[in-house]
A and B are shown apart, each in its own frame.
Chain A
Amino acid sequence: MEGLLPKLPLADWIDSFVDWLTVTFAFLFDGITVSLEGVVEGLFAVLEIIPSYILLILIGLLAWKLSSKGIALFAVIGLFLIDNLGYWEAMLETLSLVLTAVIITVVIGIPMGIWASQKTVVKQILTPILDFMQTMPAFVYLIPAIFFFSIGVVPGVVSSVIFAVPPTIRLTILGIQQVPTDIIEATEAFGSTTRQRLLKVQLPLAMPTIMAGINQSIMLSLSMVVIASMVGAPGLGADVYRAVTQIQIGRGFEAGLAIVVMAIILDRITQNVGIRKQGGN
């Protein structure tokens, strides 16, 4: 094989492409860096002002309202444990990173999903891109992320978004397309415009599925925090990463446990958001 064709200089091409991007769109990347940093730090600042025991109770109440008493109790105990182990600030940093990533995911993902659900061509183009985003090892796009956004929390957020946005898009498409045909026919038969059909019928009915997608995105961006810490993102991930490099089994376990507790609380709280009352449910 080698004799037939010279090796494609794919790596060289990509290198020069990334170089070109870095130089040409420097203003854009700088803008994104500044604003994302602002969002993450702003969120962190707000969360930090609140005393830990008050935030702990607030999250507990939220869990109670949206989920069950059991989950609320788990949240309070879990958060207390995190505080007790001394990971409170790291947890808030991780939380700000994850929340920022999720907000961007929702802002990008839902409109993309709606668009793709209405136009088959868009869906056909989008599907392979989403596959690419989900299967390409995260480390690979971490490298250009450093070029574009330098070291720190921003490349962490960006790579989290890339990794986490596919489920939101996919499940938005699915949710909208799953609305039964006869209901769509009924809304058309009474003379709905495309917009009315989307806003009054398809989106409300797709909401539980879309929320399941957002829930998946939250979980995925949480799973990115350790990887993000390798490019300088602060938080629990950084603690785990440090423990790994210094072979501190105990510390690594503590930080890992804190991530698990966060994941469970976020998962249970967001799981039930989309499921609204529809009569006999």
Chain B
Amino acid sequence: MNEGNVKITVKNVTKIFGKNTKKALQLLKEGKSKGEILEKTGATIGINQASFDVYNGEIFVIMGLSGSGKSTLVRTLNRLIDPTIGEILIDGNDITKMKKDALIQVRRKKISMVFQNFALLPHKTILENTEYGLEIQGIDKEKRKQQALNSLKLVGLEGYEHQYPKQLSGGMQQRVGLARALASDTDILLMDEAFSALDPLIRKDMQDELIDLQASMEKTIVFITHDLDEALRIGDRIALMKDGEIVQIGTPEEILMNPSNQYVERFVEDVDLSKVLTASHVMKRAETVQIDKGPRVALQMMKELGISSIYAVDKKKKLLGAVTAADARKAAEAGQSLQDILDRDVQKVSSDTLLFDLFDSVSTASIPVAVVDENDKLLGILVRGAVIGALAGNNEVINVLEKAKTEVAADQSEKEGSN
């Protein structure tokens, strides 16, 4: 990740609420705690020297419990709340130093926002709500209607344009909130607990939809949540906040596997690992035999490895099927080739399948389930023991963290290449 790819830079942003901010700031620099400062000055530390970068096209999740300062932090990014000190660079321009007019332009063209309780205008129709950002920019009526209709279509709300917000369910209202933010076509989307007010099933749907939308839009999204599952599901990177401080920043895997301190550890210990780990985290190296080898070779390999079946692949490691030891023996006696005895009907899963969705195939399969990529190339196999071990939190089985990291890095460099 290089410098040119940074969309938002937050440097040392601190927000102090209360009257005696100067003294509080002084004490903060001396390293006094939040409690001490409150006692001495009556000022509350909202954000304590937060610094981080958000990269182009990523979903950056800021997570923390209520009162951790996450909502305050996201509001400093478009200056709904002015930071006490610190710099916030958006595309290299410091918005904390901007005059009102320039700030309004940034809010209109660069950053839009989705709110926890939707914050729709009750006296305007869905279409008028979606148009709001464009209307205040003075964009002409036909054009803004077209743009608004497009973004309503994106979120699946065609046909509701003339309803009022109160006539829609919570989930639909939040789609309007999202459509309104999308209509302005800004690069950056701030989402403040955007799905927290929705019930769990709808929340899942919205998360999936956001991920789908993001795949085609490549916006830079800063997403606030108090829900770790949500953070892990949608976040490319996660920043964990506590008492106004950022405690750890990392990919979901890094946070889960290497919590930087006890606070993060406690946070992640209740995570349902089956919904975080994927097939690629628990798969083992697959033993394979080339399809043009004879059955005797296959038999010999199985004997050496002490296994009862083996996957057959072509030269490009494309999975063709499985061969069992019993069939191989018969074929060797009858003089048949591997092609003849190949069991082509084998269980395959993709590498990003969640463990949660693997239980069924792993438990019923007679031979280890194959993990393949989109071209059917065999990546590894799932051994029952390893899957169960991973669920039990046994880190020895999850030996692919390093690998996952390199994959992320590879993804990133691909993205950069295409930019």
Contact residues of A with B, CB < 8 Å?
180, 182-183, 185-193, 196, 200-201, 204-205, 276-281
Name the residue on B nearest A193 (C-beta): B104
Given contacts A185-B80, A279-B165, A191 and B119 within 8 Å (CB-CB): no
Residues of chain B at interface, number, CB under 8 A? 33
Kindly list the 10 A-B residue pairs having the minimum CB-CB distance in the complex, ordered from nearest.
A279-B164, A191-B108, A191-B107, A279-B166, A186-B119, A190-B133, A182-B119, A280-B166, A189-B113, A191-B104
Point out the residues of chain A lying under 8 angstroms from B108, CB to CB.
Answer: 190-191
Complex contact A200–B136 (CB within 8 A): yes
Complex interface residues of chain B between 175 and 221 (CB less than 8 A to chain A): 180, 184, 190
Name the residue on A nearest B168 (C-beta): A279
Number of A-B contacts (CB under 8 A): 76
Point out the residues of chain B lying under 8 angstroms from A185, CB to CB.
Answer: 75, 80, 113, 115, 119
Complex contact B164–A280 (CB within 8 A): yes
Complex contact B119–A180 (CB within 8 A): yes
* Cβ-defined partner of A182 (8 Å) among B106, B116, B136: B116
A204 to B117, CA, bound (A): 20
Complex contact B80–A189 (CB within 8 A): yes
Name the residue on A nearest B137 (C-beta): A191
Q: List 20 A-B contacts (CB under 8 A).
A: A182-B119, A183-B120, A183-B121, A185-B75, A186-B121, A187-B132, A189-B78, A189-B80, A189-B111, A189-B112, A189-B190, A190-B180, A191-B105, A191-B108, A193-B104, A205-B121, A205-B122, A278-B164, A278-B166, A279-B163
Does B336 touch A at the CB level, under 8 Å? no
Given contacts A188-B107, A204-B123, A280 and B112 within 8 Å (CB-CB): no
Point out the residues of chain B lying under 8 angstroms from A189, CB to CB.
Answer: 78, 80, 107, 111-113, 190
A271 to B119, CA, bound (A): 27
Complex contact B133–A281 (CB within 8 A): no
Contact residues of B with A, CB < 8 Å?
75, 78, 80, 104-109, 111-113, 115-117, 119-123, 132-133, 135-137, 163-167, 180, 184, 190
Name the residue on A nearest B177 (C-beta): A186
Name the residue on B nearest A278 (C-beta): B122
Name the residue on B nearest A186 (C-beta): B119
A158 to B154, CA, bound (A): 58
Point out the residues of chain A lying under 8 angstroms from B111, CB to CB.
Answer: 189
11 new A-B contacts at CB < 8 Å, known A186-B119, A279-B167 = A182-B119, A185-B80, A185-B119, A186-B120, A189-B112, A191-B133, A191-B136, A201-B121, A204-B123, A205-B121, A278-B122
Given contacts A205-B123, A278-B123, A279-B122, A193 and B115 within 8 Å (CB-CB): no
Name the residue on A nearest B107 (C-beta): A191
Name the residue on B nearest A180 (C-beta): B119
A46 to B112, CA, bound (A): 54
Cβ of A143 to closest chain B Cβ, rounded Å: 46
Complex contact A192–B136 (CB within 8 A): yes
Name the residue on B nearest A182 (C-beta): B119
Point out the residues of chain B lying under 8 angstroms from A205, CB to CB.
Answer: 121-123
Point out the residues of chain B lying under 8 angstroms from A278, CB to CB.
Answer: 122-123, 164, 166
Complex contact A276–B78 (CB within 8 A): no
A281 to B123, CA, bound (A): 11
Point out the residues of chain B lying under 8 angstroms from A201, CB to CB.
Answer: 121
A277 to B167, CA, bound (A): 12
Complex contact B164–A190 (CB within 8 A): no
A180 to B109, CA, bound (A): 25
* Cβ-defined partner of A190 (8 Å) among B122, B166, B184: B184
Name the residue on A nearest B165 (C-beta): A279
Complex contact A190–B123 (CB within 8 A): no
Name the residue on B nearest A276 (C-beta): B123
Point out the residues of chain A lying under 8 angstroms from B135, CB to CB.
Answer: 200
Point out the residues of chain B lying under 8 angstroms from A281, CB to CB.
Answer: 166
A279 to B168, CA, bound (A): 9
Name the residue on A nearest B190 (C-beta): A189
Point out the residues of chain A lying under 8 angstroms from B116, CB to CB.
Answer: 182
Cβ of A173 to closest chain B Cβ, rounded Å: 19
Point out the residues of chain A lying under 8 angstroms from B190, CB to CB.
Answer: 189
Complex contact A186–B115 (CB within 8 A): yes
Cβ of B72 to closest chain A Cβ, rounded Å: 12
